[in-house]
Chains A and B, each alone.
Chain A
Amino acid sequence: MRRGPRFTAGLVGLVGLFLVWEAASRTGLVPEYYLRPPSVVLPTLVRLLGDVGFLRAVIATVLATLIAVALSVLIAVPAGLLLGSVSWVRRAMMTVVEFLRPIPAVALIPLALLTFGTGPDTKIVLATFAGLWPVLFNTMYALDELDPLHVQTARAFGVGRLGVLTRVALPSAAPFVLTGVRLTFAMSLAVVVSVELFSGGTIGLGQLVLEASAGASQMDVVLAGTVLAGVIGYAANAGLEKLNDRLFGWNARGGER
């Protein structure tokens, strides 16, 4: 297994983190009452995974994140292809994009709550907003990298403008798009949990953490939820990385990129 050493190294790092956390908590470096040690948090997490209410919240969060990621891709890939291939559209839209992009999605929570209510719509809309940018920019810049000889080859075989876009530009941009999706997933998850934390009413991991933190009575649950969010993010990233290796092996071995 090629992955063996890397996996072991990763595991060592993770164990190290837990050891530092355990020590910080046990020695009183951080008040143990707030930062419960992993020896308490991890069993709590295992117990919670058997709890239907908890699982439902986790599923709600993951589902909202997945929907947001899918919407981001559906919007940002065509938009990126358009901005990347039609220069006047790009010139016209870049100011708008550069204005919208720095706005933190979290800052829009109050506005979105009033507009979309406390249901899942709010977190999906905001997570989509936050997740658009990595995919949009990666698609757009991938088109800048598009090899003109690939385009000329296709055109010389009578492939039209739209055909060049779908049969040459899109596959050549695909690895960059997938890298964008990895960033998008992390951002969307963060925004979904943030909205849940903020708006309380909507079911999800964030809301669960929020409720457990009231009066600091259940800090082990708060931390278990936090650890789980990390695990979800890690698993998604690892899965997408595997997908990248499988689909785009040509890209790594091509040499030029």
Chain B
Amino acid sequence: MTDLSKAGPMLEVTDLGHTYQGKDGAHDAIDALGFSVGAGELVCVVGPSGCGKSTLLRTIAGLVRPSRGAVSLHGSPVDGVPADLAVVFQDYSRSLFPWLSVQRNVEFPLRGLARAERASRAAEALASVGLDKAGRKYPWQLSGGMQQRVAIARALAYRPALLLMDEPFASVDAQTRFELEDLLLRVRREQDTTVLLVTHDIDESVYLGDRVLVLSKSPATVVAELTVDLGAERDQITTRASEEFVELRARVAGLLQGVPQQRSVPVEH
């Protein structure tokens, strides 16, 4: 569903760089990153482990102030945490609040709304992830996959213009992962959410994305940008077996492997 006709630049990242000042000197996590995400798009960012994907995401979320460059949302620069943005982290067990029920967790970001509105939004969001009966339970009473559904419901209830997902399915088993991937595709189709999803899984990036951005090793830059023409309806079995899918995943894999070693410190033997 690469409906670019209505796609304004929802998110624009320009020349973004971030350097961590550590005890043993400076470390460039990301450098000269640039890309944009249109409204309604689902863009996957794939890159090797530890390449700075999480830094990129935290920078966009306003949780980390970048050393260089700029992020803008709806054309206005991001300075601090943007109001209409939600994040789903990888580690659901640590991002849900254990002292709140599932319902209260989903209501957590809806502080400013009236009580009834909060409740109805939370119920709606929980229903959309198939957890309409779990509202009164506590996160620790649910399986990992269900907990991550709660985290997704919480993000959806907030109705963000942009949904950021940081390796959201990396901590669940393969079967659950497929279910959650399809859930994400269905929900973003129904609600027309704009999603930027970071992953280290090549297959996942192709299966989910309208576009895939391939990052280099740290400091991360965008080495390639691929359009995924698999249509809106995707299926775990037939899509993954299709020629286009196989070809795309091979290209992404090649790009990831062909990335020249950009280590700042050469490895000595």
Which residues of B have CB within 8 Å of A168? 97
Across the interface, do A152 and B89 meet the contact criterion of CB distance under 8 Å? yes
Interface stretch of the complex, out of A14-22, A71-79, A97-105, A247-255: A247-255
- Within 8 Å by CB of A254, from B87, B111, B140, B158, lies B140
Chain A count of residues within 8 A CB distance of the other chain: 24
The answer to whether residues A149 and B89 also contact, given A155-B81, A158-B109, A250-B140 and a CB cut-off of 8 A, is yes
Across the interface, do B99 and A250 meet the contact criterion of CB distance under 8 Å? yes
Which residues of A have CB within 8 Å of B111? 159, 163
A154 to B: closest C-beta gap in Å: 8
- The answer to the question of A51 belonging to the interface, with a C-beta cut-off of 8 Å to chain B, is no
Across the interface, do B94 and A250 meet the contact criterion of CB distance under 8 Å? no
Across the interface, do A156 and B140 meet the contact criterion of CB distance under 8 Å? no
Which residues of B have CB within 8 Å of A254? 98, 140
- The answer to the question of A171 belonging to the interface, with a C-beta cut-off of 8 Å to chain B, is yes
The answer to whether residues A157 and B108 also contact, given A152-B63, A152-B89, A256-B93 and a CB cut-off of 8 A, is yes
Q: How many A-B residue pairs have CB under 8 A?
A: 59
Chain B count of residues within 8 A CB distance of the other chain: 25
- The chain B residue with its CB closest to the CB of A255 is B140
Q: Encode B80-117 as 1/0 by CB contact (under 8 A) with A.
A: 01110111010101110111100000001101000000
Across the interface, do A171 and B97 meet the contact criterion of CB distance under 8 Å? yes
Across the interface, do A157 and B109 meet the contact criterion of CB distance under 8 Å? yes
Interface residues of B, Cβ cutoff 8 Å to A: 58, 61-63, 81-83, 85-87, 89, 91, 93-95, 97-100, 108-109, 111, 138, 140, 158
Sample of 8 more A-B contacts, CB < 8 Å, known A159-B109, A172-B97, A254-B98: A150-B95, A152-B95, A156-B62, A158-B81, A159-B111, A171-B97, A248-B99, A254-B140
Interface residues of A, Cβ cutoff 8 Å to B: 147, 149-150, 152-159, 163, 167-168, 171-172, 174, 248, 250-251, 253-256
